[in-house]
A and B are shown apart, each in its own frame.
Chain A
Amino acid sequence: MAENASKPGPEPSDRVVIGLTFGNSNSSIAYTIDDKAEVIANEDGDRQIPTVLSYVDGDEYYGAQAKAFLVRNPSNTIVHFRDFLGQDFKSIDPTHCHAAAHPQDAAGTVSFSVKDKGPEEEASSVSVSDASTRFLRRLATAASEYLGKKVTSAVITVPTNFSDKQREALIGAAKDADLEILQLIADPIAAVLAYDARPEAQVKDKIVVVADLGGTRSDVTVVASRGGMYTILATAHDYDFAGVHLDNALMEYFAKEFMKKHTADPRSNPRSLAKLRLESEATKKALSLGTNAQFSVESLADGYDFSMTINRIRYEMVGRKVFEGINRLVEGAIKKAGLDVLDVDEVVMCGGTSHTPRIANNLRGIFPETTAILAPATSAEAINPSELEARGAALQASLIQEYEADDIDQSTHPAVTTVKHISNAIGVITVGPEGEDVFTPIMPAETAVPARRTVHIPAPADGGDVLVKIVEGGTHIKVTKPEAKPKEEANGDDENDEDSDFDSDEEDEEKREKLWKIGELLAEAAIRDVKKGGNVEVTINVQADLSVTVTTREVGAKGGVRGTLPGQ
């Protein structure tokens, strides 16, 4: 691309790379050491750095320090600007900026008016891309100071619904901050990579649901992970059930408790409201770790101090609506992918709100026991949900730092990424315990081709000649109704009455299980004279044109049978 000629960028050998997560509420930076990703703390000691910029007396503050200025200096504090990048003024939702500098229309794009030069100077107009540049520069500086080397390049994570215009705006803002963007990767994929890159992880074919529960938005993504390659099957985005809504519920609760003792409403005055919000968020975080937390604000309203404790059970009642919304969001995304909760192998919880134990426990209740819910409350091996995306970005950055910019562009080109995915599983027929035909999957549906899988299948106990039948397969959900009640049995002769309104057995849950259905026969192969107790190895290799090569032999034997089916 001609564009590349004008951006020389550092030589691959001179690069210092980091992974960067740039959120509306919080951002993080991570680097890799010995193939392990570590999240970097900034000079304030924060690993989750609030995405806030504030100007006081001409000095720039960012992160937690800037966030604290939301109380005394809201009009010169910029918050929640990531989602405004590359957007038209008309299409943005300024709700979350209400208590800080308001976004303004600057010839269609978004900007903020803040006194960034000094209290006596005129307020200047800071565009969203300027704000992003300034903030990214501070993040890169924090990483450079930690690493002792100037950071030149980064991989940044973005939501799956980020438009090309937003991506370009982000790349531009980073370039203005002297940061080369190697690649923009999707938030949920970064989270999955952070888990899959652990040394103890095994590459498996699995369906992963990534629940990215953030401050102002929640994104749920259904991912097919096949041989370590990821395909997004469905995404759902929501702006009504996120961390800030839990904060709001707590604010309501504390404000009402305050008003029981005093006459003033802390929500009626901006400064009181800002204090209430900051402390409610801090209390919420404490309730993710402990079962009790203290809420206390000095001079909350009318000069009265306010202090009370809240336990986790009370909080879970207060936030119930939000928790239920998150459940529906997760279920909706799975449905959108045309799947059932039984199809899901792993749920990766990421984003700050995923620390909430109730949300993980609710999801535990939705999914079958075989599904791993990867959150601190439900799994001992879970990684900190706030750090997943930055770690994934750092791992990806370390993988591609040696590549030329052209190589990265070519590898991520649609010609490479758009490939066929098989729509049915491929497997063999084996004999079940009662002599029936059973489908044993070798390659699951939604596997990107070309792909290759090998399985070992025990031959009949007595050995002898074996017929290997290669078939397609699908899954279906079998619902077993609970045992019919005697009352219904009496009406058994009246078939029209079977679905009568007599439905008192609600406590008997119907049993749902996933079963394989044998589909079209693809090919047969014979393996002769298999030893007693021997195993048969079947390898299936699907090429990009969907032609299939089947190789099958007895384990340990030479040769074997090999055949090819034509492609499309």
Chain B
Amino acid sequence: PLLPSGWTAEKDFKPSGQGRLSAASERSLEPVGPHFLAHARRARHKRTFSEDDRI
């Protein structure tokens, strides 16, 4: 939508009052497929997506 006039925020970004996600559920991934193996590699080396992209 269009920006209402008079809207301001620090660095143009404003978290809402709640400002966080609703509770998530714990589930198990199936350890299968190339994308899981990439996830496992990131998880074991504690890398983020962008770090992983650079390698």
Instruction: Give A contacts to B, CB under 8 Å.
Output: 183, 185-186, 189-190, 193, 196-197, 203, 223, 227-233, 392, 396, 399-400, 410-412, 414, 416-424, 426, 429-431, 437, 446, 448-450, 452, 460, 464-467, 469, 472, 519-528, 541-543, 546-548, 550, 561-563, 565-568
Contacts and interface: CB of A to CB of B under 8 A. Distances in A.
Given A524-B16, A565-B15, A189 B32 contact: yes
B21 A548 contact: yes
A110 to B, nearest CB: 29
A521 B17 CA distance: 8
A535 to B, nearest CB: 15
Interface in B25-46: 25-37, 39-44
B22 A520 contact: yes
A229 B35 contact: yes
Contact of A186 (B3, B30, B39): B30
Contacts of A417: 28-31
Contacts of B42: 450
Contacts of B32: 185-186, 189-190, 193, 230, 392, 396
A561 B25 CA distance: 30
Given A189-B30, A229-B29, A568 B9 contact: no
Main secondary structure of the interface of B (DSSP, over half): mixed
Given A423-B25, A525-B13, A561-B12, 20 more contacts: A193-B32, A197-B33, A410-B44, A416-B29, A418-B26, A418-B27, A421-B24, A421-B26, A429-B1, A446-B27, A448-B29, A450-B49, A452-B49, A464-B2, A465-B3, A469-B1, A522-B20, A524-B14, A562-B13, A563-B13
A416 B40 contact: yes
Given A229-B36, A229-B39, A449 B44 contact: no
A465 B5 CA distance: 9
A549 to B, nearest CB: 10
Nearest to A186: B30
A449 B49 CA distance: 11
B44 A416 contact: yes
Interface of B: 1-4, 7, 9, 11-16, 18-37, 39-44, 48-49
B23 A568 contact: yes
A414 to B, nearest CB: 7
Contacts of A465: 2-3
A437 B40 CA distance: 39
A467 B19 contact: no
A410 to B, nearest CB: 7
Nearest to B27: A421
A422 B24 contact: yes
B21 A411 contact: no
A185 to B, nearest CB: 5
Contacts of A566: 19-20
A527 B49 CA distance: 25
12 contacts: A183-B31, A185-B32, A189-B32, A196-B33, A231-B27, A411-B40, A418-B26, A419-B26, A426-B21, A520-B16, A546-B20, A563-B14
B30 A449 contact: no
A467 B4 contact: yes
Given A230-B29, A565-B19, A203 B12 contact: no
Contacts of B34: 228, 399
Contacts of A233: 27
Contacts of B15: 522-523, 563, 565
A526 B3 CA distance: 7
Given A467-B7, A561-B11, A472 B31 contact: no
